[in-house]
Chains A and B, each alone.
Chain A
Amino acid sequence: MSATNLKCRECGSLYELDPIYVCERCFGPLEVAYDHSALAQDIPELRRRIQGGPQNLWRYSDFLPLPDGPPGPSGRNSSRVGLAAGCTPLIRADRLAERLGLGEVWVKNDAANPTHSFKDRVVSVAAARARAFGFEVLACASTGNLANSVAANAAALGMESYVFIPADLEEQKILATGVYGTNLVKVRGNYDDVNRLCMELSGERNWAFVNVNLRPYYAEGSKTIAYEIGEQLGWRTPDRIVSPVASGSLFTKIGKGFADWLDLGLLEGELPTMNGAQAAGCSPVATAWAEGRDFCQPVKPNTIAKSLAIGNPADGPYALELAKSSGGSIDSVTDDEIRAGIRLLAETTGVFTETAGGVTVATLAKLAARGDIGRDESVVAVITGDGLKTLDAVRGSFESFEIEPTFDEFTSKVEANLVTAQ
């Protein structure tokens, strides 16, 4: 394992690889530190090893904090231990590009994960690490996608689980969590209230809260999105990434994934321009960006993009730093723009995304309209979750026909109306 320590992002203090997440000296966030020098000895061999690995995120286990290596043998359609996340499609989206006046657009469809969101990546890593630490209970504070993933991964691994969510979450996400037999706790409050409760509980219960005491390990799973995009593009970086920002963890870890592989020489190119996407109804990071601040003022969320409704983003300052250093930005879009974004992606690519993906596509459209993206640029939009999770967002957004089963009804009620409409 090339992971060596936990390191404070603020003051650089080093810690053992324990289930801790906060620097004891300055309260800064702890991150996994690696020594990749052994891997750097033979890059062609490393590349071959990755390509010969399983068709899921465990092919990148050299870059993940797993003391015992991947949890077990697995391939594209088989796994001896747990759900195998990752290796989701990267889809060329020419019709989307054309609609936006862009040259080369790709969609990274992370809805194609076991529980239909990118959260399976982070939970896979956190759960593997939790088992290595000897924890018996998996837990999380969630805006929905993480809830699905923790409940499912705990079931797959035979662990008990506790999932804490805001009580007003989308019904689809609640049902797709409870079905796995988790202890589902609906908290009367918003995500930040849920998170505060879980932080308190993590000090009182000996559980693996994937995004509290296991957070340094959990967050590493998001790097695999960057690794996959690089590998799928033929070992090169795209020019630009558009990714949603909630806590800022996914966004910053995608940047880190590219940076690490560029440093090693595994990828050609430069660090992509990083554009973060938020919903206007919960945009503490975009607001800080617009006001030129390097810190985020917390907000009370009010948006249909509930999976991004984190008013007090832990990695907000680092997301701002990355947007700035990569020449990108953090933008926000309205709920109407989010609905239009879902529709635009669906009708140009055949990918139906949840509201968070609507935020990403709407932000891509906004950047294109603003002239921020050159026609010669390759752009990857990171689609983090499935549209079936947030059906309310598309309810009433299209017409359909209901007829008797006769040819006459079809011509008189369907075709006649279509002709009129044209």
Chain B
Amino acid sequence: MSVTVKLPTQLRASAGGEGAVAVEGSTVGEALEALYVAYPELRERLSDEDGSLRRFINVYVNGDDIRFGVSSNSPKRMGQEVQILPAVAGG
């Protein structure tokens, strides 16, 4: 399925200045992988040495944080919009 991945301002320079990128993927993991193929620089920015998402990055699917007990590989958790945001705001 086609998914829109919304990028925070901090990542846009690594994605040709785009704030939103359309990719294909039936899970969050697949969508992120497609994003990394389109913009290789983003892989290093978003994932740590083990390939998992960095500690201070939040990923939301249709507005819900994917860490609500479900892994990013679950197709049940997929939606039309994946949003990536820094985790260090608020309070």
A interface residues (Cβ-Cβ under 8 A, vs B): 10, 21-22, 24, 26-29, 141, 189, 191-193, 195-196, 198-200, 202-203, 209, 211-212, 215, 246-250, 295, 297-298, 300, 310, 312-315, 317
Contact = CB atoms under 8 A, between A and B. Distances in A.
Contacts of A193: 63
Interface in B43-73: 45, 54-58, 60, 63, 65, 67-69
Contacts of B63: 189, 193, 196
Given A27-B54, A29-B56, A314 B67 contact: no
Interface residues of B, number: 24
Nearest to B7: A203
Contacts of B83: 196, 200
Contacts of A22: 8, 10, 56, 86, 88
B86 A199 contact: yes
Interface SS of B by simple majority: loop
A26 B89 contact: no
Contacts of A195: 89-90
A10 B87 contact: no
Contact of A211 (B6, B10, B89): B89
Interface in B76-91: 83, 85-91
Nearest to B6: A200
Report the 7 A-B pairs with minimum CB-CB distance, sorted nearest first: A247-B91, A203-B9, A29-B88, A195-B90, A22-B86, A27-B56, A249-B91
B89 A141 contact: yes
Given A247-B91, A315-B91, A28 B56 contact: yes
A196 B60 contact: yes
A274 B58 CA distance: 28
Contacts of A10: 55-56
19 contacts: A21-B88, A21-B89, A22-B8, A22-B10, A27-B45, A29-B56, A192-B90, A193-B63, A196-B63, A199-B85, A200-B85, A203-B9, A212-B90, A247-B90, A297-B67, A298-B67, A310-B91, A312-B65, A314-B87
B90 to A, nearest CB: 4
Contacts, number: 90
Contacts of B68: 298, 300
A262 to B, nearest CB: 25
A211 B91 contact: yes
B56 A21 contact: no
Contacts of A248: 91
Contacts of B10: 22, 24, 27
Contacts of A21: 86, 88-89
Contacts of B69: 297
Nearest to A222: B91
A27 B54 CA distance: 8
Contacts of A310: 90-91
Given A10-B55, A26-B56, A192-B65, A215 B88 contact: yes
A198 B88 CA distance: 12
B3 to A, nearest CB: 18
